[in-house]
Protein backbone atom coordinates (compact mmCIF):
# COMPACT_ATOMS: atom_id res chain seq x y z
CA UNK A 1 0.00 0.00 0.00
CA UNK A 2 1.21 3.49 -0.76
CA UNK A 3 2.28 5.72 2.11
CA UNK A 4 0.41 8.63 0.60
CA UNK A 5 -0.37 11.12 3.40
CA UNK A 6 -3.16 13.65 3.47
CA UNK A 7 -0.85 16.56 4.33
CA UNK A 8 0.94 16.01 0.98
CA UNK A 9 -2.26 16.91 -0.86
CA UNK A 10 -2.58 20.33 0.74
CA UNK A 11 -3.10 23.22 -1.61
CA UNK A 12 0.19 25.09 -1.97
CA UNK A 13 -1.50 28.34 -0.84
CA UNK A 14 -2.56 26.87 2.51
CA UNK A 15 0.84 26.47 4.05
CA UNK A 16 -0.43 26.20 7.63
CA UNK A 17 -2.75 23.19 7.17
CA UNK A 18 -2.79 21.27 10.42
CA UNK A 19 -1.20 17.83 10.61
CA UNK A 20 -3.87 15.50 11.97
CA UNK A 21 -2.01 13.36 14.49
CA UNK A 22 -5.24 11.49 15.30
CA UNK A 23 -5.22 10.02 11.77
CA UNK A 24 -2.29 7.74 12.61
CA UNK A 25 -2.47 7.76 16.40
CA UNK A 26 -6.09 7.66 17.58
CA UNK A 27 -4.98 6.04 20.87
CA UNK A 28 -2.48 8.79 21.78
CA UNK A 29 -3.64 11.45 24.22
CA UNK A 30 -0.61 13.73 24.71
CA UNK A 31 1.24 15.71 22.10
CA UNK A 32 3.43 18.76 21.66
CA UNK A 33 2.90 21.26 18.88
CA UNK A 34 3.89 24.76 17.83
CA UNK A 35 1.40 27.63 17.83
CA UNK A 36 1.35 28.84 14.23
CA UNK A 37 -1.45 31.36 14.60
CA UNK A 38 -3.27 32.97 17.49
CA UNK A 39 -6.27 35.32 17.50
CA UNK A 40 -8.56 36.46 20.24
CA UNK A 41 -11.78 38.32 20.88
CA UNK A 42 -13.47 39.32 24.16
CA UNK A 43 -14.33 35.75 25.13
CA UNK A 44 -12.08 33.37 23.29
CA UNK A 45 -8.53 32.64 22.23
CA UNK A 46 -8.30 30.90 18.82
CA UNK A 47 -5.23 28.71 18.47
CA UNK A 48 -3.89 27.09 15.31
CA UNK A 49 -1.15 24.52 15.89
CA UNK A 50 1.18 22.95 13.32
CA UNK A 51 -0.21 19.55 14.40
CA UNK A 52 -2.89 18.27 16.75
CA UNK A 53 -4.47 15.21 18.32
CA UNK A 54 -7.79 17.07 18.76
CA UNK A 55 -10.46 15.81 16.37
CA UNK A 56 -12.58 18.83 15.34
CA UNK A 57 -16.36 18.93 15.04
CA UNK A 58 -16.89 17.28 11.68
CA UNK A 59 -19.22 14.92 9.83
CA UNK A 60 -21.93 15.13 12.52
CA UNK A 61 -19.51 14.27 15.36
CA UNK A 62 -18.73 16.67 18.20
CA UNK A 63 -15.13 17.75 18.85
CA UNK A 64 -12.65 16.15 21.24
CA UNK A 65 -12.31 17.69 24.69
CA UNK A 66 -9.10 18.23 26.65
CA UNK A 67 -6.57 20.94 27.40
CA UNK A 68 -3.62 22.83 25.94
CA UNK A 69 -0.98 24.03 28.44
CA UNK A 70 -3.53 23.25 31.17
CA UNK A 71 -6.25 25.49 29.64
CA UNK A 72 -9.52 23.78 28.77
CA UNK A 73 -10.23 23.45 25.05
CA UNK A 74 -13.90 24.47 24.75
CA UNK A 75 -14.33 23.79 21.03
CA UNK A 76 -12.35 22.60 17.99
CA UNK A 77 -13.33 23.52 14.44
CA UNK A 78 -11.89 22.77 11.00
CA UNK A 79 -11.96 24.88 7.85
CA UNK A 80 -9.87 24.34 4.72
CA UNK A 81 -7.81 21.71 6.56
CA UNK A 82 -6.85 24.22 9.27
CA UNK A 83 -7.89 23.14 12.76
CA UNK A 84 -8.67 25.88 15.27
CA UNK A 85 -8.73 25.22 19.04
CA UNK A 86 -10.80 27.55 21.19
CA UNK A 87 -9.84 28.42 24.76
CA UNK A 88 -11.69 30.77 27.12
CA UNK A 89 -10.00 34.15 27.60
CA UNK A 90 -8.04 34.74 30.79
CA UNK A 91 -4.96 36.75 31.71
CA UNK A 92 -3.04 33.53 32.41
CA UNK A 93 -4.00 32.00 29.04
CA UNK A 94 -3.03 35.15 27.15
CA UNK A 95 0.40 35.14 28.86
CA UNK A 96 1.01 31.42 28.31
CA UNK A 97 -0.13 31.09 24.71
CA UNK A 98 2.17 32.97 22.35
CA UNK A 99 2.74 32.54 18.62
CA UNK A 100 5.73 30.32 17.85
CA UNK A 101 5.73 28.68 21.30
CA UNK A 102 5.73 24.89 21.64
CA UNK A 103 2.80 23.80 23.80
CA UNK A 104 1.62 20.55 25.36
CA UNK A 105 -1.83 19.23 24.52
CA UNK A 106 -3.87 16.51 26.21
CA UNK A 107 -7.02 14.94 24.81
CA UNK A 108 -9.66 13.63 27.23
CA UNK A 109 -9.32 9.88 26.67
CA UNK A 110 -12.67 8.82 28.09
CA UNK A 111 -14.59 11.05 25.66
CA UNK A 112 -12.28 10.20 22.75
CA UNK A 113 -12.55 6.44 23.27
CA UNK A 114 -16.32 6.60 23.78
CA UNK A 115 -16.58 8.55 20.50
CA UNK A 116 -14.34 5.96 18.80
CA UNK A 117 -16.58 3.13 20.04
CA UNK A 118 -19.82 4.84 18.98
CA UNK A 119 -18.43 6.09 15.69
CA UNK A 120 -17.07 2.66 14.75
CA UNK A 121 -20.42 1.14 15.80
CA UNK A 122 -22.08 3.48 13.33
CA UNK A 123 -19.82 2.12 10.55
CA UNK A 124 -20.78 -1.44 11.48
CA UNK A 125 -24.53 -0.65 11.45
CA UNK A 126 -24.27 1.41 8.24
CA UNK A 127 -22.16 -1.24 6.47
CA UNK A 128 -24.70 -3.96 7.27
CA UNK A 129 -27.58 -1.67 6.24
CA UNK A 130 -25.80 -0.96 2.94
CA UNK A 131 -24.82 -4.58 2.18
CA UNK A 132 -27.88 -6.45 3.41
CA UNK A 133 -30.81 -4.03 3.51
CA UNK A 134 -30.11 -1.79 0.49
CA UNK A 135 -30.40 1.15 2.86
CA UNK A 136 -27.95 4.04 3.03
CA UNK A 137 -26.83 6.16 5.97
CA UNK A 138 -28.22 9.62 5.12
CA UNK A 139 -27.50 11.33 8.45
CA UNK A 140 -25.32 10.85 11.51
CA UNK A 141 -25.07 12.72 14.77
CA UNK A 142 -22.71 11.94 17.64
CA UNK A 143 -22.69 14.22 20.67
CA UNK A 144 -22.18 13.69 24.41
CA UNK A 145 -25.86 12.85 24.85
CA UNK A 146 -27.08 11.25 21.66
CA UNK A 147 -26.00 9.05 18.78
CA UNK A 148 -28.38 8.85 15.84
CA UNK A 149 -28.27 7.33 12.39
CA UNK A 150 -30.78 8.10 9.61
CA UNK A 151 -31.49 5.43 7.00
CA UNK A 152 -32.74 5.94 3.46
CA UNK A 153 -35.20 3.04 3.71
CA UNK A 154 -37.77 2.34 6.41
CA UNK A 155 -36.89 -0.59 8.69
CA UNK A 156 -39.56 -2.42 10.66
CA UNK A 157 -39.16 -3.77 14.20
CA UNK A 158 -38.01 -7.24 13.03
CA UNK A 159 -35.44 -5.78 10.64
CA UNK A 160 -34.07 -3.54 13.41
CA UNK A 161 -33.78 -6.51 15.79
CA UNK A 162 -31.95 -8.53 13.10
CA UNK A 163 -29.67 -5.56 12.34
CA UNK A 164 -28.75 -5.31 16.03
CA UNK A 165 -27.89 -9.03 16.21
CA UNK A 166 -25.76 -8.86 13.03
CA UNK A 167 -23.94 -5.74 14.27
CA UNK A 168 -23.08 -7.45 17.56
CA UNK A 169 -21.88 -10.57 15.70
CA UNK A 170 -19.43 -8.30 13.86
CA UNK A 171 -18.19 -7.19 17.29
CA UNK A 172 -17.72 -10.82 18.47
CA UNK A 173 -15.74 -11.52 15.26
CA UNK A 174 -13.20 -8.89 16.43
CA UNK A 175 -12.47 -7.76 12.86
CA UNK A 176 -9.50 -5.58 12.02
CA UNK A 177 -10.23 -1.95 11.12
CA UNK A 178 -7.90 -0.20 8.70
CA UNK A 179 -7.80 3.53 7.90
CA UNK A 180 -5.66 4.66 4.97
CA UNK A 181 -5.40 7.49 2.45
CA UNK A 182 -5.77 6.27 -1.11
CA UNK A 183 -4.90 8.19 -4.27
CA UNK A 184 -7.40 8.51 -7.14
CA UNK A 185 -6.07 5.57 -9.16
CA UNK A 186 -6.58 3.17 -6.26
CA UNK A 187 -9.95 4.67 -5.31
CA UNK A 188 -11.20 4.09 -8.84
CA UNK A 189 -10.68 0.33 -8.34
CA UNK A 190 -12.75 -0.04 -5.14
CA UNK A 191 -16.35 0.47 -4.06
CA UNK A 192 -16.88 2.48 -0.93
CA UNK A 193 -19.60 4.42 0.87
CA UNK A 194 -19.28 8.20 0.85
CA UNK A 195 -21.75 10.91 1.79
CA UNK A 196 -20.09 13.64 -0.26
CA UNK A 197 -17.65 14.27 -3.06
CA UNK A 198 -14.16 14.58 -1.58
CA UNK A 199 -11.33 16.40 -3.31
CA UNK A 200 -7.78 15.06 -3.05
CA UNK A 201 -6.73 11.92 -1.21
CA UNK A 202 -9.59 10.10 0.47
CA UNK A 203 -9.23 8.31 3.79
CA UNK A 204 -10.87 4.92 3.48
CA UNK A 205 -11.91 3.03 6.60
CA UNK A 206 -12.29 -0.71 6.08
CA UNK A 207 -13.95 -3.02 8.61
CA UNK A 208 -13.36 -6.63 7.52
CA UNK A 209 -15.87 -7.41 4.77
CA UNK A 210 -18.58 -5.37 6.51
CA UNK A 211 -17.81 -1.81 5.54
CA UNK A 212 -15.64 0.36 3.34
CA UNK A 213 -16.33 4.05 3.83
CA UNK A 214 -14.66 7.42 3.28
CA UNK A 215 -14.17 8.88 6.75
CA UNK A 216 -11.85 11.25 8.61
CA UNK A 217 -12.63 10.43 12.26
CA UNK A 218 -10.72 8.28 14.79
CA UNK A 219 -11.83 4.62 14.97
CA UNK A 220 -10.88 1.68 17.19
CA UNK A 221 -8.42 -0.89 15.76
CA UNK A 222 -10.65 -3.97 16.14
CA UNK A 223 -14.42 -4.34 16.29
CA UNK A 224 -14.21 -6.15 19.66
CA UNK A 225 -13.34 -2.80 21.27
CA UNK A 226 -16.75 -1.38 20.27
CA UNK A 227 -18.42 -3.55 22.93
CA UNK A 228 -22.19 -3.84 22.99
CA UNK A 229 -24.10 -2.18 20.12
CA UNK A 230 -27.60 -1.41 21.41
CA UNK A 231 -30.40 0.17 19.40
CA UNK A 232 -32.42 2.09 21.97
CA UNK A 233 -35.12 3.78 19.87
CA UNK A 234 -36.29 4.09 16.27
CA UNK A 235 -38.91 6.25 14.59
CA UNK A 236 -40.07 6.72 11.00
CA UNK A 237 -37.97 9.58 9.59
CA UNK A 238 -38.78 11.05 6.18
CA UNK A 239 -38.70 7.98 3.86
CA UNK A 240 -36.53 5.98 6.24
CA UNK A 241 -35.85 5.42 9.93
CA UNK A 242 -34.01 7.46 12.55
CA UNK A 243 -32.18 5.05 14.84
CA UNK A 244 -30.89 6.00 18.28
CA UNK A 245 -28.13 3.64 19.37
CA UNK A 246 -25.30 3.41 21.87
CA UNK A 247 -22.05 1.46 21.90
CA UNK A 248 -19.47 0.36 24.45
CA UNK A 249 -19.37 2.20 27.77
CA UNK A 250 -22.36 4.38 26.89
CA UNK A 251 -24.44 1.31 26.02
CA UNK A 252 -23.48 -0.32 29.32
CA UNK A 253 -24.35 2.84 31.27
CA UNK A 254 -27.73 3.00 29.52
CA UNK A 255 -28.51 -0.67 30.16
CA UNK A 256 -27.55 -0.26 33.83
CA UNK A 257 -29.95 2.70 34.17
CA UNK A 258 -32.78 0.78 32.48
CA UNK A 259 -32.18 -2.28 34.70
CA UNK A 260 -32.27 -0.13 37.82
CA UNK A 261 -35.71 1.11 36.74
CA UNK A 262 -36.88 -2.37 35.74
CA UNK A 263 -35.83 -3.72 39.16
CA UNK A 264 -37.74 -0.93 40.89
CA UNK A 265 -40.92 -1.63 38.85
CA UNK A 266 -40.45 -5.38 39.54
CA UNK A 267 -40.30 -4.63 43.27
CA UNK A 268 -43.37 -2.34 43.12
CA UNK A 269 -45.41 -4.86 41.13
CA UNK A 270 -44.07 -7.96 42.95
CA UNK A 271 -43.13 -9.50 39.59
CA UNK A 272 -39.84 -10.85 38.25
CA UNK A 273 -38.00 -8.34 35.99
CA UNK A 274 -38.97 -10.27 32.81
CA UNK A 275 -42.68 -10.10 33.71
CA UNK A 276 -43.10 -6.47 34.78
CA UNK A 277 -45.53 -5.78 31.90
CA UNK A 278 -47.92 -8.34 33.49
CA UNK A 279 -47.63 -6.55 36.81
CA UNK A 280 -48.26 -3.11 35.28
CA UNK A 281 -51.27 -4.49 33.33
CA UNK A 282 -52.68 -5.90 36.57
CA UNK A 283 -52.28 -2.49 38.23
CA UNK A 284 -54.05 -0.84 35.28
CA UNK A 285 -56.97 -3.25 35.50
CA UNK A 286 -57.30 -2.53 39.23
CA UNK A 287 -57.22 1.23 38.58
CA UNK A 288 -59.93 0.92 35.87
CA UNK A 289 -62.10 -1.15 38.19
CA UNK A 290 -61.67 1.32 41.07
CA UNK A 291 -62.46 4.22 38.72
CA UNK A 292 -65.71 2.47 37.71
CA UNK A 293 -66.59 1.96 41.42
CA UNK A 294 -65.81 5.59 42.17
CA UNK A 295 -67.97 6.71 39.24
CA UNK A 296 -70.90 4.70 40.56
CA UNK A 297 -70.47 5.95 44.12
CA UNK A 298 -70.06 9.62 43.18
CA UNK A 299 -72.97 9.46 40.71
CA UNK A 300 -75.19 7.98 43.45
CA UNK A 301 -74.14 10.65 45.94
CA UNK A 302 -74.83 13.44 43.42
CA UNK A 303 -78.28 12.03 42.62
CA UNK A 304 -79.11 11.91 46.35
CA UNK A 305 -77.82 15.41 46.89
CA UNK A 306 -79.88 16.82 43.99
CA UNK A 307 -83.01 15.02 45.23
CA UNK A 308 -82.57 16.63 48.64
CA UNK A 309 -82.22 20.21 47.41
CA UNK A 310 -85.32 22.08 48.63
CA UNK A 311 -84.66 25.61 49.85
CA UNK A 312 -83.40 27.40 46.79
CA UNK A 313 -83.95 30.82 45.31
CA UNK A 314 -84.17 30.97 41.49
CA UNK A 315 -80.74 29.53 40.63
CA UNK A 316 -78.70 26.58 41.93
CA UNK A 317 -74.89 26.39 42.07
CA UNK A 318 -73.14 23.39 43.68
CA UNK A 319 -69.45 23.12 44.64
CA UNK A 320 -68.24 19.51 44.55
CA UNK A 321 -65.13 17.36 44.15
CA UNK A 322 -66.02 14.87 41.42
CA UNK A 323 -63.44 12.77 39.61
CA UNK A 324 -65.21 12.61 36.28
CA UNK A 325 -66.63 15.32 33.98
CA UNK A 326 -69.45 12.96 33.01
CA UNK A 327 -70.75 12.95 36.62
CA UNK A 328 -70.59 16.74 36.61
CA UNK A 329 -72.51 16.96 33.30
CA UNK A 330 -75.12 14.42 34.45
CA UNK A 331 -75.61 16.46 37.64
CA UNK A 332 -76.13 19.70 35.69
CA UNK A 333 -78.63 17.93 33.38
CA UNK A 334 -80.53 16.58 36.43
CA UNK A 335 -80.60 20.06 38.02
CA UNK A 336 -81.81 21.71 34.78
CA UNK A 337 -84.58 19.13 34.51
CA UNK A 338 -85.71 19.90 38.05
CA UNK A 339 -85.23 23.67 38.32
CA UNK A 340 -86.17 26.54 36.00
CA UNK A 341 -83.27 28.88 36.79
CA UNK A 342 -79.57 28.69 36.04
CA UNK A 343 -77.97 25.48 37.36
CA UNK A 344 -74.25 24.87 37.70
CA UNK A 345 -71.72 22.49 39.20
CA UNK A 346 -68.21 23.71 40.04
CA UNK A 347 -65.78 20.85 40.59
CA UNK A 348 -62.41 21.16 42.33
CA UNK A 349 -59.68 18.97 43.74
CA UNK A 350 -57.65 21.75 45.36
CA UNK A 351 -60.22 24.47 46.35
CA UNK A 352 -58.26 27.12 44.42
CA UNK A 353 -59.33 26.31 40.86
CA UNK A 354 -62.60 24.96 39.52
CA UNK A 355 -63.93 23.31 36.35
CA UNK A 356 -67.49 24.47 35.78
CA UNK A 357 -70.51 23.38 33.75
CA UNK A 358 -73.56 25.66 33.79
CA UNK A 359 -76.91 25.00 32.10
CA UNK A 360 -80.43 26.43 31.91
CA UNK A 361 -83.60 25.79 29.95
CA UNK A 362 -84.76 29.42 30.19
CA UNK A 363 -81.76 31.71 30.36
CA UNK A 364 -78.74 32.38 28.12
CA UNK A 365 -75.85 30.88 30.13
CA UNK A 366 -73.28 32.79 28.10
CA UNK A 367 -74.22 35.88 30.16
CA UNK A 368 -73.04 34.01 33.31
CA UNK A 369 -69.85 32.98 31.51
CA UNK A 370 -69.15 36.59 30.56
CA UNK A 371 -69.43 37.67 34.23
CA UNK A 372 -67.01 34.91 35.32
CA UNK A 373 -64.56 35.88 32.56
CA UNK A 374 -64.69 39.59 33.36
CA UNK A 375 -64.68 39.37 37.16
CA UNK A 376 -62.38 36.38 37.71
CA UNK A 377 -60.47 35.89 34.45
CA UNK A 378 -62.26 32.59 33.83
CA UNK A 379 -61.82 30.78 30.51
CA UNK A 380 -64.69 29.04 28.81
CA UNK A 381 -67.77 29.32 26.64
CA UNK A 382 -70.48 27.33 24.93
CA UNK A 383 -74.05 27.52 23.72
CA UNK A 384 -76.93 29.52 25.29
CA UNK A 385 -78.28 26.38 27.00
CA UNK A 386 -74.92 25.17 28.36
CA UNK A 387 -71.42 26.56 28.95
CA UNK A 388 -68.30 25.10 30.48
CA UNK A 389 -64.86 26.31 31.45
CA UNK A 390 -62.36 26.80 34.22
CA UNK A 391 -61.69 29.49 36.79
CA UNK A 392 -58.84 29.98 39.25
CA UNK A 393 -60.58 31.51 42.29
CA UNK A 394 -61.95 30.57 45.71
CA UNK A 395 -65.54 29.37 46.23
CA UNK A 396 -66.32 32.64 48.05
CA UNK A 397 -65.02 34.76 45.18
CA UNK A 398 -67.00 32.73 42.65
CA UNK A 399 -70.23 33.08 44.66
CA UNK A 400 -69.62 36.82 45.02
CA UNK A 401 -69.12 37.20 41.25
CA UNK A 402 -72.15 35.04 40.36
CA UNK A 403 -74.41 37.06 42.65
CA UNK A 404 -74.13 39.88 40.13
CA UNK A 405 -76.21 37.94 37.64
CA UNK A 406 -77.75 35.02 39.57
CA UNK A 407 -80.22 34.72 42.42
CA UNK A 408 -78.34 32.35 44.73
Positions that interact with Zn ion (CB under 5 A): 205, 215, 217
CB of 200 to Zn ion, least distance (A): 18
Residue closest to 125 by CA, chosen among 154, 148, 158, 107: 148
H or E element in which residue 74 lies: strand 71-79
DSSP 272-284: -GGGHHHHHHHHH
User: Cα separations (Å) of 264 from 252, 273, 275, 279?
Assistant: 18, 9, 13, 12
Residue 356 backbone dihedrals phi, psi, to 5 degrees: -120, 150
State which residue, 55 or 346, has the beta carbon closest to Zn ion. Answer: 55
CB of 177 to Zn ion, least distance (A): 9
Residue 285 backbone dihedrals phi, psi, to 5 degrees: -60, -40
Residue closest to 402 by CA, chosen among 363, 382, 383, 173: 363
Dist CA 112 CA 318 (whole Å): 66
- Find out whether 229 and 209 touch, Cβ atoms under 8 Å: no
The three-point CA angle 317-331-370 to 5° equals 45
Residue nearest to Zn ion as judged by C-beta position: 215
State which residue, 54 or 339, has the beta carbon closest to Zn ion. Answer: 54
CB of 190 to Zn ion, least distance (A): 16
CB of 123 to Zn ion, least distance (A): 5
CB of 212 to Zn ion, least distance (A): 11
CB of 202 to Zn ion, least distance (A): 12
State which residue, 135 or 347, has the beta carbon closest to Zn ion. Answer: 135
State which residue, 50 or 180, has the beta carbon closest to Zn ion. Answer: 180
CB of 59 to Zn ion, least distance (A): 8
State which residue, 71 or 140, has the beta carbon closest to Zn ion. Answer: 140
Task: Look at the alpha carbons of 120, 125, 128, 129 in this order and tell me if their dihedral is positive or negative.
Answer: negative
Sheet of strand 240-247, all strands in order from the earlier edge strand to the far edge: 137-142, 147-151, 240-247, 229-237
State which residue, 217 or 318, has the beta carbon closest to Zn ion. Answer: 217
State which residue, 204 or 317, has the beta carbon closest to Zn ion. Answer: 204
State which residue, 219 or 363, has the beta carbon closest to Zn ion. Answer: 219
CB of 76 to Zn ion, least distance (A): 17
State which residue, 133 or 192, has the beta carbon closest to Zn ion. Answer: 192
Residues in a beta bridge with 139: 150
CB of 323 to Zn ion, least distance (A): 56
Strands 229-237 and 343-347: unpaired
**Cβ atoms within 10 A of the Cβ of 385, count?**
15
User: Cα separations (Å) of 297 from 2, 288, 345, 378?
Assistant: 85, 14, 17, 30
Amino acid sequence: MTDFKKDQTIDANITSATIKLYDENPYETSFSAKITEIHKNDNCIYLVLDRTLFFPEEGGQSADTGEIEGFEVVDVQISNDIITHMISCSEEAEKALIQGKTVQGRVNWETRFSNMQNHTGEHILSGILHNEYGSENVGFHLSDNTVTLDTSRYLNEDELAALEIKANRAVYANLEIKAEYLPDEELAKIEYRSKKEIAGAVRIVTIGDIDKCACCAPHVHRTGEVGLIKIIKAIKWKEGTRIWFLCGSRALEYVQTIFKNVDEVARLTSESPDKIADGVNRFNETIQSLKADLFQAQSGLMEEKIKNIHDIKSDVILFENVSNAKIQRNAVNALVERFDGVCGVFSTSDNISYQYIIGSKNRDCREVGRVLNEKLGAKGGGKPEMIQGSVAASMEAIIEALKETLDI
